[in-house]
Amino acid sequence: MVGRSVLRIAVSLESKPMSLSLYLVSIFLGLAGGSYYALTKFKNGQQSGIQLLLLGIIGFVACFELYAIYLYKQGKHNVLVYNICFFYIETFLLLAYLYGINVSKKTRQFIVYFCCTYLAWGIINTVFIQDIQLAAHSYSFLIASLGIVSFCLLFIFQIAKNNEFLDKPLWSIPHFWNTSILLIFYSSAFLYFISLNVLVELDLALVKVLGSFNRFVAGTMYIVLGFSFFAPMFQPTNHG
C-alpha cells in the first residue's frame, strides 16, 4: 500500500528544478513537432483525427503541468490537478487513442468496458478510499497503467499476428512508436508507484533518483508522441 505521506513526496518531486525544466522542454518540444506536422497536413488537406487527438493530449499536459507548477510556487496544493488531469482525463484520452487505432471490434469493446469500469472505480476511490484533494489517486493510476499496458501489448500482438504493414518497416509506423513508448512509460511508472512505500523506508534519495528517471521517460514519451507521425517520411522508397 502507498500511504498518503509517500504520495505527497511523490507529488512534491515534481518541483525539482533541473529535471522539471527538462521535462517541460520535452513536452513543448513534442507539442512543437506535432503542431508543425498538423499544420503541414492541414495545408494539404490531409490532417488526421488521431494525430490531432495526440496533439491535443500533449497540449493538455502542457497546460495542467504549468498550472500545477504555478500552484506549487504559490504554496498551494496541486494534488487535485494531478488527480483530475493526469490520473483520469489523460488516461481516458489515451484510451480513446488506443480505441481509434484498433480495428478489432472485440478490442474496442474491451476498451469501452475498461473505461466504464475505471470511471466507476474512480468514483468509489474518491468517495470511500483516497481523498481526491489530499491524496494522489495511486490505486487508480495502477489500474490505468495495467489497462494501457495491456491494450498496447494487444495492439502490437495484433500487428504481428495479422501480418499487418508487411510492406512497411515497423520503425516507419507511427502507431508502433506510440504504443511502444506508452508501454515503456506506463510499465516503469507502475513499478515506480507500486514500490514507493518500500523505497521511502529504505532510501529517500533513491526515490528522488527514480522520480527523476520517471520524468525523463515521461518527457521522452511526449516527444515520441509529437514526432511519431514523421516516421513514414523515413520509409525507404522502392524503385523498379
pLDDT in tens, 23-42: 999 999 999 999 999 888 77
Give the C-alpha separation, 150 to 187, whole Å: 10
Q: How far is CA 124 from the centre of its chain?
A: 23
- Domain ranges (residues) in the chain: 14-232
Name the pTM for this structure.
Answer: 0.89
Q: What is the mean pLDDT of the chain?
A: 85
Mean local confidence (pLDDT), 65-83:
92
% of the chain at pLDDT higher than 70: 82
- pLDDT tens per residue, range 227-238: 999 988 876 665
Q: Is the pLDDT of residue 202 over 70?
A: no
Mean local confidence (pLDDT), 95-108:
93
8 or 151, higher pLDDT: 151
Mean local confidence (pLDDT), 136-152:
95
Give the C-alpha separation, 152 to 182, whole Å: 7
Contact predicate 141/189, CB 8 Å? yes
- Tell me the CATH architecture of domain 14-232: Up-down Bundle (1.20)
Q: Is the pLDDT of residue 43 over 80?
A: no
Give the C-alpha separation, 47 to 43, whole Å: 8
% of the chain at pLDDT higher than 90: 57
Contact predicate 149/118, CB 8 Å? no
Q: Is the pLDDT of residue 15 over 60?
A: no
DSSP 8-state assignment for residue 74: T
Give the C-alpha separation, 121 to 125, whole Å: 6
Contact predicate 213/19, CB 8 Å? no
Greatest mean pLDDT range, 32-36, 168-172, 189-193, 202-206: 32-36
* Cβ neighbourhood burial of 107 (10 Å; 0-12, 13-18, 19+): middle
Three-class secondary structure of residue 134 per DSSP: coil
Which ranges constitute the DSSP H helices of the chain?
Answer: 4-12, 17-43, 49-73, 79-81, 91-101, 105-124, 138-161, 174-194, 196-202, 204-227
Please state, in angstroms and as integers, the Cα–Cα distance from residue 208 to each residue in 10, 100, 173, 220, following that order: 8, 36, 35, 18
